[in-house]
Amino acid sequence: MTNGITNDRRIIHKKSVWLTMWQSKYIYLMLLPLFVWLAVFCYAPMYGIILAFKTFKARLGILGSPWCGMDHFVRIFQTPDAVRAIRNTVTISLGRLIFEFPMGIILALMLTEMPGVKVKKVYQTIYTFPHFLSWIIVGSIINNFLSGNGAVNIWLGKLGVSKVNFLANSGLFRAILYITGNWKEMGWAAIIFMASIAGIDPSLYEAATVDGASRLKQIWHVTLPGILPTICVMLILQIGNMMNAGFDQIFNLYNDVVKPVSNILDTYIYNITFLAAPNYGFSTAVGLFKSVINFILLILANGLVNRLSGQKLFQ
């Protein structure tokens, strides 16, 4: 009897789901182009992942090429350049986590505390505008300023200071990445946190003011706890993206001199695919390795943040 009731409920539930979908058919019709785009450009090409387990031969095609098992993945850890690229990727990504991630939060707090709506909007526009410039344009600007014959070195020469080719200095290159990365992206990141701050109940600030809390204490005890869920979500996403250390930026700024400290996995894949005799199986294996590590980091970060703060991105 119980099984019969359960089955009836399942049938009713299925009917209600299909009925709801039918009633919202025009909304789904509007989403159809998105689903087609996802299927064609995101899911259909995924069959190419099998290249990571094959010795690709163009005349045989992807499906006809012989299997090689895990040989390409073993080769990753036997190739010094690949190991160096992994180390550089992790190092640069950790640096971004330390020196870039907090800047969006700090800028959001500063803009929120700034008096004057018009002035605040002007500064927000100034800080956000670089986000809409491509790294090709930004890279050209940085090269004009920091190269051996750039504006900064011209000024240094007039001051009697020896010239420094910043972009060809291995010790300075990563710092330049963090500084220029902040200049370009921290305004955009601040928008997310400012939107979260705007959702905090104003009565909490009023109660804190009545209790004699200064603005700094209000930020520490009201604002930061109020945007903690947003910070946690953004942190999880940042950690889950650690194996992508910023290809566009590095590709437009690095050179052979700083390659030992700047060649990340993405630039390594580009080099072995387009600037050398291509080995598509090995290139695919490196890309798949990077994606799997990102997925593992995302799961670990979600669990760790949930354990520490009670916030999580997904169940």
pLDDT at position 213, please? 87
Q: Please give the average per-residue pLDDT across 138-143, as a whole number.
A: 90
Rounded to an integer, what distance in angstroms lies between the CA atom of residue 154 and that of residue 141?
15
If residue 143 lies in a helix (H) or strand (E), which one and from where to where? Answer: helix 135-146
User: Is pLDDT at 76 greater than 80 in this prediction?
Assistant: yes
Rounded to an integer, what distance in angstroms lies between the CA atom of residue 72 and that of residue 281?
7
Rounded to an integer, what distance in angstroms lies between the CA atom of residue 129 and that of residue 144?
20
User: Is pLDDT at 155 greater than 60 in this prediction?
Assistant: yes
Q: Which two tokens stand for residue 308?
A: 């520490």
Whether residue 307 contacts residue 232, with contact meaning beta carbons closer than 8 Å, is answered with no
pTM equals 0.84
Rounded to an integer, what distance in angstroms lies between the CA atom of residue 147 and that of residue 165?
5
Counted residue by residue, the chain has a size of: 315
Helix (H, G, I), strand (E, B) or coil at 54: strand
What lies within 8 Å, CB to CB, of 239 at 6+ separation is 97, 297, 298, 300, 301
What lies within 8 Å, CB to CB, of 65 at 6+ separation is 51, 54, 55, 56, 57, 281
If residue 288 lies in a helix (H) or strand (E), which one and from where to where? Answer: helix 280-309
Residue-wise pLDDT for 1-14, tens only, equals 455 555 555 655 56
- Residue 85: band (very low, low, confident or very high) from pLDDT cuts 50, 70, 90: very high
Q: Please give the average per-residue pLDDT across 106-129, as a whole number.
A: 89
pLDDT at position 12, please? 56
Q: Please give the average per-residue pLDDT across 89-99, as a whole number.
A: 94
Rounded to an integer, what distance in angstroms lies between the CA atom of residue 70 and that of residue 68?
6
Closest Cα to residue 283, out of 85, 63, 39? 85
pLDDT at position 152, please? 87
Q: What is the residue-averaged pLDDT of the chain?
A: 87
- Residue 255: band (very low, low, confident or very high) from pLDDT cuts 50, 70, 90: confident
Per the model's pLDDT, the better-predicted residue between 310 and 184 turns out to be: 184
**If you search the block for the tokens 């995302």, which residue do you land on?**
298
User: Is pLDDT at 90 greater than 90 in this prediction?
Assistant: yes
**Full set of structural domains in the chain with CATH:** 2-53 (no CATH), 75-309 (1.10.3720.10)
pLDDT at position 179, please? 94
pLDDT at position 8, please? 52
pLDDT at position 180, please? 93
